[in-house]
Amino acid sequence: MLRLGIVVAFIVYLILLAGQVSDLVNDRGSRSGIYIETGAAGEVRISGFRTGVAELGGLETGDVILRLGDADEHGVDKVPTNYFAFRHALDAADGNVLIQRDGHTFQTRYDLERYLWQAVVVLRNVALGVLAAVLLIYSSGSLAQTAAVTFLLMSAWGQGAPIGGSGEATALFTLVWCIGQSFVSPMLGILFQRVM
């Protein structure tokens, strides 16, 4: 059963690593830190920020987002109401948003929290995954070695779910990451309890 769990963890690892490599190649990857909601008239409003503050980076809770991106470039006039599509579109727009606040409309740029050293993150995750694979291949199957492999794979998942090339891909990567975390974290805890 533990071997099956490790196989599942490796599959999750490979999916997320592919997403991280894709983000690196296509210059994606950020934490938006913005929560959105759809208003009564169908408009997209900022409902809050991950940090819990009411104002962040030129945006405020309650601001209506009219467009993502510049008007003359790759702007998205139809603001996605789905959080994952919004996260992808905000990343693609590099944080440029057209907002409406108190009857006034203006363009601003929300400073996205970009993942730093993306290439280093990918290389580190590859190294941890290779180390986990080698340890698994040459292990005797003991609980301590299985726990070590699981720990390496969890560490290799890195900064979290990739952005992905679309809102759907972002949602899929996030779902895979959440499934992996909910599956592997308890398994790791059980393994360490048995080993200790």
In order along its 196 residues, the chain shows pLDDT tens digits of 567 777 778 888 888 889 888 888 888 877 778 889 998 888 899 998 887 788 787 888 999 998 888 765 554 567 888 888 888 888 888 888 989 998 898 888 888 777 666 788 788 888 888 888 888 788 777 777 777 787 788 777 766 788 888 889 989 988 888 887 777 667 667 666 766 6
pLDDT of the residue at 124: 85
Q: Looking at the whole model, is its pTM more than 0.75?
A: no
What DSSP line would sit under the chain, residue for residue?
-HHHHHHHHHHHHHHHHHHHHHHHHTT--EE--EEEEE-TTS-EEEEEETT--SEETTEETT-EEEEES-TTTT-BSS---SHHHHHHHHHHTTTEEEEEETTEEEEEE---EEPS-HHHHHHHHHHHHHHHHHHHHT----HHHHHHHHHHHHHHTTTSS---SSHHHHHHHHHHHHHHHHHHHHHHHHHHHHH-
Rounded-to-integer distance, Cα 59 and Cα 28, Å: 22
User: What is the pLDDT, as a whole number, of residue 117?
Assistant: 63
Burial of 87 (C-beta count, 10 Å sphere; 0-12/13-18/19+): buried
pLDDT at 188: 67
Residue 62 burial class via C-beta count within 10 angstroms: exposed 0-12, middle 13-18, buried 19 and up: middle
